[in-house]
Amino acid sequence: MLKAQNIHKIYKQPVNDLHVLKGVNLELQEQDILSIVGPSGAGKSTLLHILGGLDKPNDGQVFFEGQDIYKITDNKRTKIRNQKIGFIFQFYHLLGEFSALENVVMPGFVKEGMAQEKLLKQKASQLLERVGLGNRIHHKPHELSGGEQQRVAIARALINDPKVIFCDEPTGNLDSENGKIIIALLMELNEEHKQTIVIVTHDEEIAKNSKKVIHMRDGILV
């Protein structure tokens, strides 16, 4: 489903360039749950962003369903991200002026257009119900706890039925109890909807729930 070959990422610096990824190779099958584990600065998030089409590597290739996503136009890559990939970030990235329902439905509007507004809002409501927020759909982010905001972000990532969900430290801002709830929810989604899930984390406890685990250190897989 997803294959990365010889991925290098270098950030230019005034003195010494920062070589963050040093020839990473990785393959994912459908319905995998993969945890990428390692200390801060290992290159985990950089790799996740490259796999998800958010950040171009300096060298190497990323194939999604057989297509090299960095050999196509930016518009085509954006379309793949919107329609086939979901993202869940540590800091939620919810839009503060919009309700939970409106935040969830936005990627659907990008994909389907406003003509499908009624159906998309109905679907968004069902997703929020699924993540335990059926009574909070009209609340804005500042009216929600951190765990609730992360569940809104999960619902938003699911609105377009993605093939793969990339999670960048999804429990990093949560207490242990809310963190367990979020991880359990992701595992249920993988089981019920057959979605592939990639989780970047420094938490070994999360990795124990995954089907596959890889460890990163200093820009390489170890």
CATH number for 103: 3.40.50.300
- Position 132 scores a pLDDT of 85
**pLDDT of 150 above 90:** no
Tell me the mean pLDDT in the region 67-78: 93
Classify residue 109: in a domain, yes or no: yes
Classify residue 73: in a domain, yes or no: no
Determine how β-strand 59-64 pairs with β-strand 2-11: antiparallel
Classify residue 186: in a domain, yes or no: yes
Do the Cβ atoms of 166 and 87 come closer than 8 Å? yes
| Distance separating alpha carbons of residues 52 and 85, to the nearest angstrom | 7
- Position 74 scores a pLDDT of 92
**Number of structural domains, the chain?**
1
Tell me the mean pLDDT in the region 32-39: 90
Q: In the numeric block, which tokens belong to residue 33?
A: 């749950």
Range of the domain at 170: 29-55+83-221
Question: How many other C-beta atoms are found inside a 10 Å radius of the C-beta of residue 48?
Answer: 21
Q: What pLDDT, in 10s, does the model give residues 78-122?
A: 999 888 998 988 888 888 899 999 999 988 888 777 767 888 899
Tell me the mean pLDDT in the region 141-151: 90
Determine how β-strand 196-201 pairs with β-strand 33-37: parallel
Prediction pTM value? 0.88
| Distance separating alpha carbons of residues 180 and 206, to the nearest angstrom | 8
Classify residue 40: in a domain, yes or no: yes
Classify residue 23: in a domain, yes or no: no
Classify residue 10: in a domain, yes or no: no
Classify residue 112: in a domain, yes or no: yes
Classify residue 158: in a domain, yes or no: yes
CA dihedral 134, 140, 141, 143 (to 10 degrees): -80
* Local confidence band at 67 (pLDDT 50, 70, 90 cut-offs): very high
